[in-house]
Amino acid sequence: MSFFEAFLNWNVFVQTLPLLISGLTITISLGLCAIVLGLAGGMLLALLRLYGPTPLRQIATAYIDIFRAVPLLVLLVVVYYALPFVGLRFTPFTSATLALSIVSAAYSAEIFRAGIEGVPKGQFEAARALGLNAFRRMSDVILPQAIKLVIPPITSNSINVFKDTALASVVAMPDLLKQATQAQALAANPTPLISAALIYIALLLPLVRLVGIFERRLAAKGR
Amino acid sequence: MAAIIDMKAVTKNFGGFRALDGIDLQVAEGEIVVIVGPSGSGKSTLIRCINQLEEHDSGTIKVDGHVLQKGADLNAIRTELGMVFQSFNLFPHLSVLRNVALAPVRVRGLSWPEAEARARKLLERVGLKDQIEKYPAKLSGGQQQRVGIARALAMEPKVLLFDEPTSSLDPEMVGEVLDVMQQLAKTGVTMIVVTHEMGFARKVADRVIFMDAGRVVEQGLPETLFDAPCDERLKSFLNAVLSH
């Protein structure tokens, strides 16, 4: 088999494309769900860690440390294969969304915390001196500045979450990678795998570039 | 004479450093008090205790009759205390207009159009009518500080606290900020001003307070304090400040 017949076989590509597209939709919905839930959870954890009452603050700190130490694949396998033994049975999609967003929340929390701590002390003081309550101080003064500071690392983290959706293929999730391996087996040709790899790159490369642009823009502002 | 600010035996420590060492101070409604003193004498700490940006360790502070203590509604008390900072502390992500209008909307419950109308008037009063759509970073230091004053005024506070409002300004911008403050002094609002601008103190103050090592060392009318100082520390301070 020539290189082109093996890796870039047009007929195989066309035949397996519908399968890949169905996988791609699942990958994208899984990625988006996990990113959104991870960001929301991360913000909540960061605020609890910084301003929560003592027991909640300790719980948030423990959560953040533990889920940055657990390998994602291990967590995914635990959620999907171990939890059913205690009666918690999730679909592959739910399991993958859970595992991804649990871990992503831990990382996002640390990023948001760094952002909040990067806002100058005078901003907190001005907000307090005006009589704004704690919620308004955060929502109107601190968080808009903090989030701006952490757009590059948050985008980076979201790219990682999106890439890690491929791990979901181990819990029988028919995502892009799973469908590609399936298609490879059916066609007895690796073209679908190459196609899948190219699709991942086409989706994420622009985002990777965007992080660089954000970082340069922020550096130019000198903060 | 009703004291709007009433401090009794107030102390504040930072680690082992005694920043305030038994402060007794009453400020009457409408009074303009200027606090001077060498750096580290506790001037800034004193006014930061009044709006509880620093919590005092002992003694009592009353603002308009409300005792500042655990459980007090600090946010409500702070709405009566406008503060102007040395480093302006404008909100960089909001336009000048929004900087001034934000707190009236979020704290006083005004609608945005109402608050923006109020903000426009105040910004006009401090001479910034043409800058309202700009962001703070586009303004000079003097302009930023005038926005800071407008922002404090927008809450219609009973007392204005100024924490070295001209200390981080280039010399040529000090005058424009002092002018605004001098105009304000005529409106009858209570002002407590920490500053090194002795000329301003002499012209505007009803009472000048000299602090050193966390205590009020001497106080009185500006002419008495500047022209006939009693305390040795005040004499050497005035020598150092006025000799050049």
Cα–Cα distance between A79 and A162 in angstroms, integer? Answer: 19
Is A147 touching B (CB cutoff 8 A)? no
Encoded tokens for A99 = 């595992």
**Distance in angstroms (rounded) separating the CA atoms of residues A140 and A120:** 15
- Tell me the pLDDT band of B213, cut-offs 50, 70 and 90: very high
Query: In B, which residues are within 8 Å of A140 by CB distance?
Result: 102, 106
- Is residue A142 within 8 angstroms of chain B, CB to CB? no
Give pTM, 2 decimals.
0.89
pLDDT digits (tens, 9 = 90+) for A18-33: 999 999 999 999 999 9
Q: Which residues of B touch A144 (CB under 8 A)?
A: 93
Q: Return the pLDDT at A10.
A: 84
Whole-number percent of chain A with pLDDT over 70: 98
Per the CB < 8 Å rule, is A125 touching B53? yes
Asked whether residue B1 carries a pLDDT value surpassing 70, the answer given is no
With 90 as the cut, is the pLDDT of residue A14 above it? no
Q: Name the nearest CA neighbour of B240 among B180, B179, B196, B204.
A: B196
**Average pLDDT over chain A, rounded to an integer:** 92
Is the per-residue pLDDT at B74 higher than 50? Answer: yes
**Is the pLDDT reported for residue B177 higher than 60?**
yes
Nearest Cα residue to A110 out of A63, A42, A44, A164: A42
Instruction: Please state the rounded mean pLDDT for residues A164-183.
Output: 89
Return the pLDDT at B181.
Answer: 96
In tens, the pLDDT along A69-78 reads 999 999 999 9
* A143-153 confidence digits (pLDDT tens): 999 999 999 99
State the alpha helices, DSSP H only, in chain A. 3-7, 10-51, 54-69, 72-77, 92-118, 121-129, 134-136, 143-149, 151-164, 176-187, 191-221
pLDDT (mean) for B152-173: 95
Mention every residue, 6+ apart, whose C-beta is less than 8 A from residue B153: B82, B122, B160, B184
Closest CB to B53: pick one of A129, A140, A148.
A129
Q: What type of residue is A43? A: M
Residue A223 has pLDDT above 70, yes or no: no
Beta carbons of A170 and A76 less than 8 angstroms apart:
yes
The residue to which tokens 């009566």 are assigned: B80
- pLDDT one-digit tens code per residue, A44-66: 999 999 999 999 999 999 999 99
Q: Which of B11, B35, B9 is nearest to B222 (CA)?
A: B35
Burial class (CB in 10 A: 0-12, 13-18, 19+), B13: middle
The residue ranking higher by pLDDT, B200 or A1, is B200
- Looking at A1-10, A87-96, B112-121, which range is the least confident one? A1-10
Supply the pLDDT for residue A221. Answer: 66
